[in-house]
Amino acid sequence: MSRVVPIALFFREDLDWLVGLRETDEGQEEALSRNAQHVRSILDRRGASFLSEIVRYSERTVDEVETALRELVAHGDVTADGFDALRSLMTRERHRASRGRWSLLARDPKVVENAIERFARQLLARWGVVFRDLLAKESLAPPWRDLLLAYRRLEARGEIRGGRFVSGYLGEQFALPEAVELLRALRREERSGETLEVSAADPVNLTGFVLPGERLATLSSQTLRLVDGVPAEEPDSVLSTL
């Protein structure tokens, strides 16, 4: 498998809102090449089709269609009814893309608003407290202005809290009620010097985003040492090679 092919794993029941989330991205259609847009229009017009059918109706070569399908799959627009066909695009093995039918992922306009709220809730479940700067760690997040509207609705319904929970950051912040209680409890606790070492790939690696220190590449073979929840001050103890 190629190291540059984007892969997403998710539960089938989450497909609708995750696909709907793509509709919130501005300029998604324009980001596709003309060849990919053309193949996409064929699938939109004719429905699920075999590779040979797409080649015939698009009047493109097999290589051009496979290149377009690779772009559309990476873009989150197209899928196949067999994993062997998808694998062929990642390994660039010829003739295997014909093993399966290709189709557009269904999109329901009614799902878009719900998708933003679902993502907003997911961020809260992951972090407890959410504010704009934290989105630097969330490459798939919709624009903050859209999330902001969702959070304000949740706050108005009394489901979450709005306020200032993390110092040093501008803009509105939102938190789960239980997260607020945990933060208050932590403020009352004395520092114990508890040390935790985690991989740089761990989501808790917030150095350079929320925690002080330089950013650590999430794909690096390094570990991060946290003392009482913040990076250790000594440079030699912050980073170590696995």
Over the stretch 139-170, which tens digit does the pLDDT of each residue have?
Answer: 778 889 999 999 999 999 999 999 989 888 88
Residue 9 covered by a domain = no
Count of domains observed in the chain? 3
Q: What is the pLDDT of residue 234?
A: 45
CA separation for the pair 48, 70 (Å, rounded): 16
54-83: per-residue pLDDT in tens? 999 999 998 899 889 988 888 878 888 877
Higher pLDDT, residue 202 or 154: 154
Residue 236 covered by a domain = yes
Residues 169 and 213 in one domain: no
Chain length of the chain:
242
Higher pLDDT, residue 114 or 235: 114
Residue 98 covered by a domain = yes
Report the mean per-residue pLDDT for the chain. Answer: 80
241 has a pLDDT exceeding 50:
no
Range of the domain at 215: 195-241
- Minimum mean pLDDT among 110-114, 183-187, 231-235: which range? 231-235
Helix/strand/coil percentages in the chain, nearest 5: 45, 15, 40
Alpha-helix runs per DSSP H in the chain: 15-22, 34-46, 51-58, 62-74, 83-91, 111-127, 144-156, 177-188, 235-238
76: CB partners within 8 A, 6+ apart: 8, 19, 22, 105
Residue 163 covered by a domain = yes
Residue 76 covered by a domain = yes
Residue 14 covered by a domain = no
